[in-house]
């Protein structure tokens, strides 16, 4: 029997090839896709409110007839139309208006009965429903799906109405649902009090009651979490079984390195080093995620791990997302390692990026091949085919969210199952991290080095620009440096935003003409970017105009002011990363966000920046604002595939799903027992890339 995932949507009665294209735009291509196309909300149409009983300021559902309708043009906005209908029921009349939707008047013939849903507001002495959703009640149409019940409301494919979509879904449920097998094993459903699949699909689309809708939602959310966790748990089990390198961790070289540092490690750093040492002694490869806020000292922890690997005769690869960051790490790590020696020689550190010249690149590649480079720091250039290690023992990947899952997997393949340490300055709450990075062990640095002063963050509007420029001048005159960041490099005709290039000229020639003002952005050649950053680090430039090229890793202790123009154009984690470029010295530092934002989401982001300095709290706020799919990205986690589950609000359900994934894979690794065959099919349908990697052999 043909699987529902293989039956194209166009064969459903009433859809056809043309409508199928519209459905495809919503991700619906098969019968199964339609069954899993869930409502975005519901309307309780078991009880309509009479017009005389509507409440101001609330969303209401009424059933009324059109008394009169018409269209008028706005005097204030050219080409803007307003369609109005006066509707009535037995208790009264109500005005309904639609803005700039002239086609609506065709549906508002006098005498037509409508169901209307919208917010009722007061305008002058009358109540009005603005831009209501509506449906025509026709006597010859079966109303069982649309009236007198809890009614699903969907995001609509182009040219398809709510009534038509409900009819298509009901048809598919009636015809095809009996052919749909429940792939969740019975014992899992029983332990977790979950509905079966058929009942869940019916009640997510056409709930018998609010309680049944909640049960259906829980079952389908558990299902998504469970399928998401299976590959993560399986990958972790696979890694544990592969032979790795058992390093000797109590080495004099690492002790000498720590003693040579010009600062003391924090207790949090020491704890993480103990966790890493514990991993490195084991005969299985380390797979650890190190989370830490901007400036918390992750790099020095990674360097300690590198020194341990080097003393055992292994090489270390340290991959970062940008050339500026690679060069900065190279300079910093080289300087720190110069204080110690290994086998009567210094530790040899190499730099490999896309912009180094051919001759220099050949020397470095030869050194890596022959084992004469102990630690190489580089960008994506490390992934190139001609980069071959003699004895790779540790891979460190910094700012892991800047690399895709596939890219992260390539570098360790250049060794025989080396240890892997992945670092991120974009932290997420620990419980969520453990569940979402299920194939990694988690370490957290949750304190900043002593002496760091908190950064003061302000939100100002454009009216305070004169005060801001005066504040910048005061700080530059006492020796401090300033970043000013813009969302655009050049002016855009489509967007009314200030740009880095334009404002650089304005500042250089007028506002800050007595100071040295530089400009850096991603379109400049790498050598030019390096030159400008070097001049800023050395104090030759006092003010640096930039784009988000600064977001990752620039470290200038004397920079104490970060100004971010059009702050509403940046994501919350971006804003926090940019703020992390200051506050690295012993000076009072200020981050100033300039924005006339009026959208609730933009205001929430900027408020979070003003109220919180802690990266973990910032991450929680970012997750709340953006949602998990946007936050993590489909390339990283597949979380955008979560259609109904939400790890933020359903953490306990997610943990239960993970526990069940661990339980089932511990006794049936390949999902080959009879009760798990359907589950295996569904898993490979959802994640086909895992067949070769994990479910064969």
CATH number of the domain to which 259 belongs: 3.40.50.300
332, 390, 12, 48: which is closest to 170 by C-alpha?
12
User: pLDDT at position 184, please?
Assistant: 96
User: pLDDT at position 263, please?
Assistant: 87
**331 domain residue, yes or no:** yes
Show the tokens assigned to 31: 């019968």
386 and 517 belong to one structural domain: no
**190 domain residue, yes or no:** no
Count CB-CB contacts under 10 A for residue 318.
26
Instruction: Check if the beta carbon of residue 245 is closer than 8 Å to that of residue 419.
Output: yes
For range 276-304, the mean pLDDT = 91
For range 219-237, the mean pLDDT = 89
Angle, CA of 315, 336 and 540, to the nearest 5°: 120
Last residue of a domain, one of 612, 643, 658: 612
463 and 576 belong to one structural domain: yes
pLDDT at 372 over 80: yes
**161 domain residue, yes or no:** no
Residue indicated by tokens 């559902």: 61
Last residue of a domain, one of 555, 590, 612: 612
pLDDT tens-digit readout, 347-371:
999 999 988 889 999 999 999 999 9
**690 domain residue, yes or no:** no
pLDDT at 439 over 60: yes
263 and 404 belong to one structural domain: yes
The enclosing H or E element of 323 equals: helix 323-337
**227 domain residue, yes or no:** no
Band of residue 493 on the pLDDT scale cut at 50, 70, 90: low
218-222: long-range contacts (C-beta < 8 A, 24 or more apart)? 218/194, 218/653, 219/189, 219/194, 219/195, 220/38, 220/644, 220/645, 221/644, 221/645, 221/646, 221/650, 221/653, 222/192, 222/194, 222/645, 222/653, 222/656, 222/657
465 and 605 belong to one structural domain: yes
The DSSP letter of residue 549 is G
Q: How far apart are CA 276 and CA 270, in angstroms?
A: 10
**517 domain residue, yes or no:** yes
For range 393-406, the mean pLDDT = 76
461 and 417 belong to one structural domain: no
**691 domain residue, yes or no:** no
Q: What is the pTM of this model?
A: 0.70
Give the domain CATH number at 93: 2.40.50.140
401 and 498 belong to one structural domain: no
468 and 550 belong to one structural domain: yes
**519 domain residue, yes or no:** yes
432, 475, 469: which is closest to 585 by C-alpha?
475
Q: Specify the number of domains making up the chain.
A: 3
pLDDT at 36 over 70: yes
> 529 lies in which domain range?
456-612
Higher pLDDT, 388 or 135: 388
Last residue of a domain, one of 585, 612, 639: 612
pLDDT tens-digit readout, 628-682:
555 554 334 445 467 888 877 888 999 899 999 999 999 898 888 999 999 998 8
358 and 399 belong to one structural domain: yes
Q: How far apart are CA 211 and CA 124, in angstroms?
A: 41
Phi, psi of 19 (to 5 degrees): -65, -30
53 and 116 belong to one structural domain: yes
460 and 414 belong to one structural domain: no
Q: How far apart are CA 450 and CA 492, in angstroms?
A: 44
401 and 496 belong to one structural domain: no
Q: How far apart are CA 204 and CA 214, in angstroms?
A: 8
Q: First vs last Cα of the chain: how many Å apart?
A: 27
352 and 397 belong to one structural domain: yes
The DSSP letter of residue 243 is B
């Amino acid at each position: 029997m043909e699987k529902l995932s293989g039956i194209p949507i166009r064969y459903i009665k009433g859809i056809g090839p043309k409508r199928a294209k519209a459905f495809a735009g919503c991700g619906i291509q098969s019968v199964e896709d339609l069954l899993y196309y869930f409502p975005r909300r519901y309307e309780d149409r078991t009880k309509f409110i009479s017009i005389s009983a509507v409440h101001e300021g609330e969303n209401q559902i009424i059933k009324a007839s059109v008394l009169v309708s018409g269209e008028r043009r706005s005097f204030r906005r050219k080409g803007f139309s307003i369609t109005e209908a006066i509707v009535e029921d037995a208790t009264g009349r109500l005005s309904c208006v639609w803005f700039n939707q002239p086609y609506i008047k065709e549906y508002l013939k006098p005498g037509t009965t409508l169901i209307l849903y919208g917010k009722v507001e007061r305008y002058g002495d009358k109540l009005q429903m603005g831009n209501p959703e509506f449906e025509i009640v026709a006597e010859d149409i079966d109303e069982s799906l649309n009236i007198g019940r809890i009614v699903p409301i969907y995001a609509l494919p182009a040219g398809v109405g709510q009534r038509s979509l409900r009819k298509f879904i009901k048809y598919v449920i009636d015809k095809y649902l009996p052919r749909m097998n429940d792939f969740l094993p019975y014992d899992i459903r029983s332990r977790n009090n979950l509905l079966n699949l058929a009942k869940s699909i019916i009640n997510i689309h056409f709930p018998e009651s609010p309680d049944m809708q909640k049960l259906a939602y829980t079952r389908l959310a558990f299902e998504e979490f469970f399928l998401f966790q299976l590959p993560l748990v399986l990958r972790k089990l696979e890694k544990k079984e592969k032979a790795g390198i058992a390093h000797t961790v109590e080495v004099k070289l690492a002790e000498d390195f720590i003693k040579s540092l010009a600062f003391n490690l924090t207790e949090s750093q020491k704890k993480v080093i103990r966790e890493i040492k514990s991993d490195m002694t084991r005969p299985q490869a380390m797979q650890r995620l190190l989370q830490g806020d901007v400036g918390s000292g992750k790099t020095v922890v990674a360097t300690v791990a590198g020194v341990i690997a080097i003393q055992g005769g292994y090489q270390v690869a340290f991959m970062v997302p940008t050339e500026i960051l690679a060069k900065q790490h190279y300079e910093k790590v080289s300087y720190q390692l110069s204080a110690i020696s290994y086998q009567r020689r210094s530790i040899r550190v190499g730099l490999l990026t896309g912009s180094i010249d051919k001759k220099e690149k050949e020397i470095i590649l030869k050194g890596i091949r022959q084992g004469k480079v102990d630690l190489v720091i580089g960008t994506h250039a490390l992934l190139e085919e001609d980069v071959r290690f003699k004895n790779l023992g540790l891979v460190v990947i910094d700012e892991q969210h800047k690399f895709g899952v596939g890219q992260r997997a390539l570098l360790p393949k250049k060794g025989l199952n080396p240890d892997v340490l992945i670092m991120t300055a974009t932290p997420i709450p620990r419980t969520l991290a453990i569940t979402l990075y299920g194939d990694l062990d988690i370490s957290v640095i949750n304190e900043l080095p002593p002496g760091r002063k908190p950064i003061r963050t302000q939100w100002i509007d454009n009216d305070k620009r004169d005060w801001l420029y005066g504040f910048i001048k005061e700080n530059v005159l006492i020796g401090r440096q300033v970043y000013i960041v813009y969302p655009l490099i050049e002016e855009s005709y489509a967007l009314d935003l200030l740009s880095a290039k334009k404002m650089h000229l304005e500042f250089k020639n007028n506002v800050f003409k007595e100071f040295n003002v530089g400009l850096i952005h991603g379109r400049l050649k790498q050598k030019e970017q390096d030159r400008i950053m070097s001049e800023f680090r050395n104090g030759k430039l006092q003010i640096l105009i930039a784009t988000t090229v600064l977001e990752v890793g620039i470290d200038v202790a004397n920079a104490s002011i970060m100004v971010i123009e059009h702050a509403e154009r940046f994501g919350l984690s971006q804003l926090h990363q940019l703020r992390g470029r200051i506050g690295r010295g012993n000076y009072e530092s200020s981050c100033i966000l300039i924005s006339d934002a009026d959208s609730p989401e933009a205001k929430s982001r900027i408020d979070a920046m003003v109220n919180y300095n802690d990266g973990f709290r910032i991450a929680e706020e970012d997750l709340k604002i953006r949602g998990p799919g946007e936050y993590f990205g489909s390339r990283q986690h597949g979380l955008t595939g979560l259609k109904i589950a939400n790890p933020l609000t359903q953490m306990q359900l997610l943990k239960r799903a993970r526990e069940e994934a661990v339980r089932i894979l511990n006794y049936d690794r390949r999902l080959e027992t009879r009760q798990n065959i359907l589950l295996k099919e569904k898993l490979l349908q959802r994640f086909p890339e895992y067949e070769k990697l994990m479910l064969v052999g």
